[in-house]
Structure 1
Amino acid sequence: MKFIAYNVRPDERKYFENWSAKQDIPVKLIADEVKSDNLALAKGYDAVISFQTGTYPADFFDKLAEFGVKDVSIRNVGVDNLNLTAAKKYGIAVTNVPAYSPNAIAEFSITVLLQLLRQQNIFRKRMAENDYRWAPFVGKEIRALTIGIVGTGRIGKAAIEIYKGFGAKILAYDPYHDPKLESEGIYVDSLEELCGQVDVLTLHMPGSDKDGHLIDEAMIANLKDGAYIINTARGSLIDAKALLAALKSGKLGGAALDTYEYETPIFNHDLKQTGVKDELFNELVALDNVIMTPHIAFYTETAVENMVNISLDSAKDVIMTGKADTLVDLG
């Protein structure tokens, strides 16, 4: 049994090496993401371990089937960029890491909200110019707000527990109700209803084709004037153009975006020499009431270790038994 791992960052290497030594299973580490011109490196390996938020080669599963690969184990949650129909056609199992550290993302979402509420962008700019005045940029306190949680899975529930500590009022929308949260009476019947009642809308759900632009111009119109949007989930959930318009018009009080609809050529790339060519992105980043971060909500030591170990354990289980707790339903 042997595995090959793509898109391996320096901070992941020690976890791969430790696992490989303990399990006595070779794992070849490739720094580059999966591309058509390096896919052949997977020939002869039992499983491909990958972390890729962008596009996989169109013939990804075709080639892996040809090479004899039996499992693709991704080190993240989302599988919306994988052709699961092709995986099923070729009999290749797909596993993911459903929960590497819900607290990491939940904590981050609240961290960036606090920065928005206390207008940190403006104060950083003022201080850079040696202007240390306060007025008129008074902040808000979380305990005085109603927080709307969209998605009450592991991350959403972790966020709810933290917001409870702040003393905020919490409402939530999810088509699937958690029994404990149901007993607390926090659910509303629709996303439209949630938007109309909250001061902060924070997204904690996976992305899929049917959920594209869940937050569009019409849904933004349902929000209270001056509301805040937090997205640490998937960029595709928000219509970025509609969001920009609402921020510039004053309809929204602010937005914290750890993910962006067109992020693939931007996030996790060094663009110091070229800059960002996406004008929509540049307009968003330039606003004082926007905090943009490059998809780092997950990025803690605990999460990275869990992502590596769970993905490798899953691949091992699939190869040895044909099963794993993290198998993705291929339909």
Structure 2
Amino acid sequence: MKMIAFSVRDDEEPFFREWSTKNNIQVDLIKDPLTDETMDKINGHDAVLALQTGEYPKSLFNKAQSLGIKVFSIRNVGVDNVDLKEASANNIAVTNVPAYSPTAIAEFSVTLLLQLLRKIDNFRKRSEQQDFRWEGNVGQEIHDKTIGVIGTGRIGKAAISIYRGFGAKIVAYDPYPDSKLAAEGIYVDSKEELYQKADIITLHMPASLKDKHMIDAQAISEMKDGVYLINTARGLLIDTAALIDGLKSGKVAGAGLDTYENESPLFNHDLRGKEIKDPLFNELRELENVIVTPHVAFYTDTAVKNMVRLSLNSAKSVIETGTADSIVNAE
């Protein structure tokens, strides 16, 4: 049995090597992403492991099937950039890591909000200029706010637990409600109702093409004046141009964004000294009431370890038994 992993970071390598030694299975580590140019490297392997926000090659699964690949295992949750139908058509199982650390992402989403509410970035910029005045940066407190949580899976529930610790009121929307939360009466019947009630809206849902630009100009117009938006889910959920308009008008008081709809050429790349030719992203970053981070909400030691080990275990299970609990393209 042989496996190959793409987009392997330095912090992942020890966990890959530890698992490889423990299981006596060869795992070849490739730092480059899986692209048309690197795809030939999968030859001679039984499983492919990958992690990238950008698109995978269109011919990936046809090529993989011809080379005897049995499983394509991604080291993250979201499968919106994976052609599951094509994988199934080529008899290749696709697995994900559905819960590497929900707490990591939930904690980070609250971290973004706290920085916005307490104007941390403004104070930091002033301090760098040795300006230590308070004026103009009065903060707000979470405990008297209504938090609107869209998506109540593992991450959404972890966020709800944290916000309750602050004493905030919770309203939630999910087309597939959690029975325990439903019994507590926190769900509203529609996203529109949540928009009208929430002071802060935090997104914890997967993404599909039907959800593209779910948060658009119309949605923003239905929200409270001075709403805060937090997105640690997927960039395509928010129409960035509409968000910028809302931020400039004051309709949206602030946004904490760990993901961006056109992030693939930007995030996890060293662009120091280079011109960023994305006017929308550049305009977004110039706004004082926005915090942008490069899709790192998941990035803790616990999460990295779990993402590597669970993806490897799933791939091993598929090869040995033909199935795994985390297969996402099962009939």
TM-score by length of 2: 0.99
Aligned-partner SS, 1:11: coil
Aligned AA (2:287): L
Higher deviation after alignment, 123-132 or 148-157: 123-132
* 1:204-227 CA-partner distances (Å, limit 9, x unpaired): 001111111111110011110000
Aligned match of 1:81: 81
Give the Å deviation of 1:330. Answer: 5.3
CA deviation string 1:40-96 (max 9, x = no partner)? 111111000111110111111111111110100000111111111211111011000
Q: What amino acid is the match of 1:291? A: I
Contact residue 229 and residue 255 of structure 1 kept, 8 A:
yes
- Alignment check: 8 A CA contact 2:172 2:187 kept: yes
Deviation (angstroms), 1:184: 0.9
Q: Whole-Å Cα distance in 1 between the matches of residues 62 and 177 of structure 2?
A: 38
User: What is the one-letter code of the residue matched to 1:270?
Assistant: D
Q: Secondary structure at the match of 1:157?
A: helix
- For residues 202-254 of structure 1, what are the alpha-carbon distances to aligned partners after superposition, in whole Å with 9 as ceiling and x for unaligned? 00001111111111110011110000000000000000000000001111100
Counterpart of 1:325, as a letter, is D
Per-residue CA shift, 1:139-171, capped at 9, x if unaligned?
Answer: 000001100000000000000000010000111
CA contact (8 A) 1:71 1:93 kept: yes
- Post-superposition Cα deviations, 1:241-284, rounded to whole Å, max 9, x if no partner, equal 00000001111100000000110100000111213211111111
For residues 194 and 275 of structure 2, what CA distance do their matches in structure 1 show? Answer: 38
Q: Is the 8 A contact 2:93 2:329 kept in 1?
A: no
Q: What root-mean-square deviation, in Å, do the aligned CA atoms of Structure 1 and Structure 2 show?
A: 0.8
| DSSP 3-state at the match of 1:45 | coil
Structure 1 window deviating more from structure 2 (306-315 vs 48-57): it is: 48-57
Which region of structure 1 is more displaced relative to structure 2, 109-118 or 76-85? 76-85
Whole-Å separation in 1 of the counterparts to 2:63 and 2:52: 17
SS state at 1:77 partner: coil
How far apart, CA to CA, are the structure 2 residues paired with 1:36 and 1:287? 37
Unaligned runs of 5+ in 1: none
Equivalent residues of 1:87, 1:330 under 8 A apart: no
Structure 1 residue 285, shift from structure 2 partner? 0.9
Match of 2:308 in 1: 308
User: Does residue 1:318 correspond to 2:318, yes or no?
Assistant: yes
Q: Which runs of 5+ in 2 are unaligned?
A: none
8 Å CA contact 1:74–1:97 kept in 2: the answer is yes
Instruction: Give the Cα separation in 1 of the matches to 2:84 and 2:311.
Output: 18
| Matching of residues 24-35 of structure 1 within 5 Å | 24-35=24-35
Aligned equivalent of 1:14:
14
Distance 2:260 2:109 in 1: 15
Q: The residue matched to 1:86 in structure 2 has which SS?
A: helix
Q: Distance in 2 between matches of 1:121 and 1:245?
A: 21
Identity of aligned residues (%): 60
Aligned to 1:46: 46
Question: What SS does structure 2 have at the residue aligned with 1:229?
Answer: strand
Q: How does 1:170-249 map to 2 (within 5 A)?
A: 170-249=170-249
SS in 1 for 2:12: helix
**Secondary structure of the structure 1 residue equivalent to 2:229:** strand
Measure, in 1, the Cα distance between the counterparts of 2:128 and 2:316.
52
8 A contact 2:85–2:329 mirrored in 1:
no
Aligned ranges 1:278-293 → 2 under 5 Å: 278-293=278-293
Contact persistence 1:202–1:229 (CA under 8 A): yes
Q: Superposed, which structure 2 residues align to 1:124-163 within 5 Å?
A: 124-163=124-163
Deviation at 1:31, TM superposition (A): 0.6
Runs of 4+ in 1 over 2 A off after TM superposition: none
The amino acid across from 2:106 in the alignment is A
C-alpha distance in 2, partners of 1:329/1:39? Answer: 21
- Count of matched residue positions in the alignment of Structure 1 and Structure 2: 331
**Are residue 110 (structure 1) and residue 117 (structure 2) matched?**
no
TM-aligned CA deviation for residue 286 of structure 1:
1.0
Question: Separation in 2 of the partners of 1:45 and 1:136?
Answer: 59
Asked if the contact 1:103–1:158 (Cα under 8 Å) also holds between the matched residues in 2, the reply is yes
| Residues 148 and 201 in structure 1, CA contact (< 8 A), matched pair in contact too | yes
Write out per-residue CA displacement over residues 147-203 of structure 1, whole angstroms, 9 at most, x where no aligned residue: 000000000000000001000011100011111111111000000000100100000
